[in-house]
Chains A and B, each alone.
Chain A
Amino acid sequence: MTSQAKSSDRAQTIRLAIAALSWFVAYFVARVLLKDSEAATWVRVAVALMPVPFFVATLIFVVRGARDLDELQRRIQLEALAIAFLVTMVFLMTLGLLQRAISLPFEDWSYLHVWPYLPVFYFGGIVIASRRYR
C-alpha cells in the first residue's frame, strides 16, 4: 500500500469515526429528549428520527470502506456478518420465546435495550473470523 493510499485510508477512517460518533451522540440526545417528553407528537417523531441522517452518513462511509478492503479482509467481514446474523437471529428468537414464557420486563428487554448487543455480535464475529487467518 502506498503512503498516499495509507493517508487516504486514514482520512476515510477519521470520517467514519466522526459520522459514527455523531450518530451515537444524536441517538443518546434523542433518548434523553424523548424521556418523559410531553411535546407534540410531530416533535417527538422528529426527535426520534434525528439520528437517521447520521446513521445514513455512517452507512455510506462503511460501504465505501468495504469497497476498499482487499480480498482477505472482505472474506473476514463476510464471515463476521454471517456469524453476527445467525447469533442475532438465535438471540431474538430466544428472547421472543422467553417473552412468552416469563414475560420479560420491557425496561430491560425492549428494542431500545436489545440493539446494542448487535454490534457486539458483529465485533465478536470479526475477532473469530480474523483468528482463522492470523
Chain B
Amino acid sequence: MKNRLKVLRAERDWTQNDVAERLGVSRQTVNAIETERYDPSLPLAFKISRIFGQPIEAIFVYEEAAVVE
C-alpha cells in the first residue's frame, strides 16, 4: 500500500519521533509505514488520518491490479 506520510510529515516539519509520539507507537513503526514495509492496522490508519487532518484515502492508496466488487 502506497502512502503520503513522509510528504505530510515534511509539510508540517515533524520528525518521525514527533509522529510516533502523537500516535503512541515507536519510531520504528512510523519509519516502517513511511518506507511502505508495513501497512498499519485500521485503527492506526484512522489515528494517522486524524493527526494530519486528512481522510484516510488522501494518505493511503490501495493498489491492486483488479478489485472485484
Contact = CB atoms under 8 A, between A and B. Distances in A.
Interface of A: 1-2, 5, 70-73, 75, 130, 132-134
B20 A1 contact: yes
Nearest to A76: B28
Contacts, number: 36
A133 B20 CA distance: 15
22 contacts: A1-B20, A1-B24, A1-B25, A2-B21, A70-B24, A70-B26, A70-B29, A71-B29, A71-B41, A71-B44, A72-B25, A72-B26, A72-B28, A72-B38, A73-B28, A73-B29, A75-B38, A130-B28, A133-B32, A134-B28, A134-B32, A134-B37
Interface residues of B, number: 14
Quick one: which of A2, A5, A72, A75 has the most chain B CB within 10 A? A72
The dominant DSSP class at the A interface is helix
A65 B61 CA distance: 33
A1 B27 CA distance: 9
A2 B24 CA distance: 8
Given A75-B38, A132-B37, A133-B28, 9 more contacts: A2-B21, A70-B26, A71-B25, A71-B41, A72-B29, A73-B26, A130-B28, A133-B37, A134-B32
B18 to A, nearest CB: 11
Contacts of B38: 72, 75, 133
